[in-house]
């Protein structure tokens, strides 16, 4: 029995009874490709066994490094882009109070984790330096190559700030490098300067790397229990092994979203009713978009935060183009609940809610929206998680990873590469005059002049 539950009961008007059965042979074939390594991208499947087959020595070093960071730094600046930061940010937001960044250090569970190198905005970096102020800080730079433009710029800046504040020798003790095991610019620099090093696994793509050192060090530094996080993922990896749709909710979800995709539901909204899950949706969008958007195919991943976005996107979802499907991640028990106060007057006309709790209202809103959108011809699926704990998060992460692996193969693409990600970089390097791109520079200049 899976720890989280997947509810597809509202799809009866969109998916006929026989359609899932017709998908079984394809799901079994996709499962064989995934488990046996016969499908495209087989070299990047190590995430499958990662929750149980990980480097225990490195895991211990991660926890030790996290304690050191907590002891000598109020702030940890995590430098990375894409999969090098999205998973960590999703987890930290998921596991903390909504305004934890504004809490005094004494009320936080661990270091204040802030992120850089995920854009090229000079204003953002200025503001980050400003908010750090005089506080002690360390840096975790995450890059397999060490030459990705955005994190490389940020690392130079924050490395300079460390040296300015602590001197070269002490600065080196405050830099933690998560990079390739054997090669690359960051690996070379780390070896030469003596930074503490952690490994970006060879057989795991960035978007699947949150349960490796890439995500675990920042998550642990924030004060989260990474043992429970890994246990949740480990249990999910055992629960989602069957190739039978009726026994595997992750595969059922993959099959249903592919049935809907082939009926014209080309955009999927991941939705939540807890603001602390907004960053989780950003992680999910990379996981799904980078895995499936190839060969002019794939479901476009988007997101919405309810009930907030019901007052902005709600009209479109209810009555706009009928190319949408929705997947809600619903927390069944919130971290806190609040009673709605009683008042003598009823000017705001919510007297009928007196004696009820905010979560009761939130849950009824979820049910009402599901019914309304289903009536409006938008298919709605729901993934229910018991709570916002490390265990639940680890389990949920693995659910979506298993689902997208199968979903990609069902759609006839390699779910583990990302060739299109490099296209913009060639143009950017040409416009910036990077050595080795002289031919591209000439071509781009011609196009720009036109």
Annotated catalytic residue 244: no
What's the pLDDT at 437?
A: 73
Q: How far is CA 65 from CA 177, 196, 228, in A?
A: 11, 9, 18
SS (HEC) of 134-199: CCCEEEEEECCCCCCHHHHHHHHHHHHHHHHHHCHHHHHHCEEEEECCCCCHHHHHHHHHCCEEEE
User: Cα(41)–Cα(235) distance, rounded to whole angstroms?
Assistant: 25
Domains parsed from the chain with CATH numbers? 5-38+232-411 (3.40.50.10490), 47-224 (3.40.50.10490)
Q: Considering the chain, what percentage of its residues have pLDDT values greater than 70?
A: 95
Whether omega before 136 lies within 30 degrees of 0, making that bond cis, reads no
Q: Which of 74, 196, 197, 290 is catalytic?
A: 290
List the 380-385 sheet strands across, edge first: 5-7, 380-385, 324-331, 267-272, 300-305
Catalytic residue, candidates 13, 238, 297, 425:
425
pLDDT-based confidence at 441, cuts 50/70/90?
low
Known active-site residue 425: yes
Cβ–Cβ under 8 Å, residues 278 and 272: yes
User: What does DSSP assign to residue 16?
Assistant: -
Nearest to 209 by CA among 300, 67, 81: 81
Separation CA 398–CA 404 (nearest Å):
10
Under the banding of pLDDT at 50, 70 and 90, the label for residue 433 is: confident
The pLDDT tens digits for 217-260 are 999 999 999 999 999 999 999 999 999 999 999 999 999 999 99
pTM greater than 0.85 (yes/no)? yes
pLDDT tens for 80-138 read 999 999 999 999 999 999 999 999 999 999 999 999 999 999 999 999 999 999 999 99
Residue 291: per-residue pLDDT: 97
Average pLDDT score over residue span 201-224: 97
Average pLDDT, integer, range 388-404: 98
Q: Is the pLDDT of residue 210 over 80?
A: yes
Average pLDDT along the chain: 95
pLDDT at 435: 79
- Residue at token pair 């014209």: 264
């Amino acid at each position: 029995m899976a720890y989280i539950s997947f509810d597809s009961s509202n799809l009866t008007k969109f998916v006929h009874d026989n359609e899932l059965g017709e998908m079984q042979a394809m799901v079994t074939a996709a499962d064989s490709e995934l488990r046996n390594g016969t499908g495209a991208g087989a070299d990047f499947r190590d995430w499958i066994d990662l929750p149980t087959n990980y480097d225990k020595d490195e895991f211990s070093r991660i926890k030790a490094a996290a304690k050191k960071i907590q002891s000598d730094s109020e702030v940890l600046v995590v430098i990375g882009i894409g999969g090098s930061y999205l998973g960590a940010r999703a987890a930290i937001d998921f596991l903390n109070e909504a305004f934890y960044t504004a809490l005094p250090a004494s009320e936080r569970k661990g270091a204040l984790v802030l992120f850089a190198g995920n854009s090229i905005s000079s204003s953002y970096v200025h503001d980050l330096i400003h908010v750090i102020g005089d506080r002690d800080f360390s840096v975790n730079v995450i890059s397999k190559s060490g030459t990705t433009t955005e994190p490389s710029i940020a690392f130079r800046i924050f490395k300079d700030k460390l040296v300015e504040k602590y001197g070269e020798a002490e600065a080196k003790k405050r830099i933690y490098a998560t990079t390739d095991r054997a090669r690359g610019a960051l690996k070379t620099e780390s070896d030469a300067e003596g930074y503490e090093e952690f490994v970006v696994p060879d057989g795991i793509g960035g978007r699947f790397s949150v349960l490796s050192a890439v995500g675990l060090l920042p998550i642990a530094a924030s004060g989260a229990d990474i043992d429970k996080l890994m246990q949740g993922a480990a249990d999910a990896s055992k629960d989602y092994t069957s190739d039978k749709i009726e026994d595997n909710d992750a595969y059922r979800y993959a099959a249903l979203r592919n049935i809907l995709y082939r009926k014209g539901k080309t955009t999927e909204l991941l939705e939540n009713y807890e603001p602390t899950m907004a960053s989780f949706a950003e992680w999910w969008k990379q996981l799904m978009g980078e895995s499936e958007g190839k060969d002019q195919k794939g479901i476009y991943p988007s997101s919405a935060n309810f009930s907030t976005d019901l007052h902005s996107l709600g009209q479109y979802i209810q009555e706009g183009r009928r190319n949408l499907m929705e997947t809600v991640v619903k927390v069944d028990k919130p971290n806190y609940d609040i009673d709605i106060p009683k008042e003598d007057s009823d000017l705001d006309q919510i007297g009928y809610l007196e004696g009820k709790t905010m979560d009761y209202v939130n849950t009824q809103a979820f049910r009402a929206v599901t019914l309304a959108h289903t009536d409006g011809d938008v298919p709605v699926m729901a993934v229910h998680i018991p709570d916002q704990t490390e265990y639940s998060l680890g389990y949920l992460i693995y659910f979506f990873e298993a689902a997208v692996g199968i979903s990609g193969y069902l759609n006839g693409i390699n779910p583990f590469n990302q060739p299109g990600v490099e296209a913009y970089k060639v143009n950017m390097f040409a416009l910036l005059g990077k050595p080795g791109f002289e031919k591209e520079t000439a071509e781009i200049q011609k196009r720009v002049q036109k």
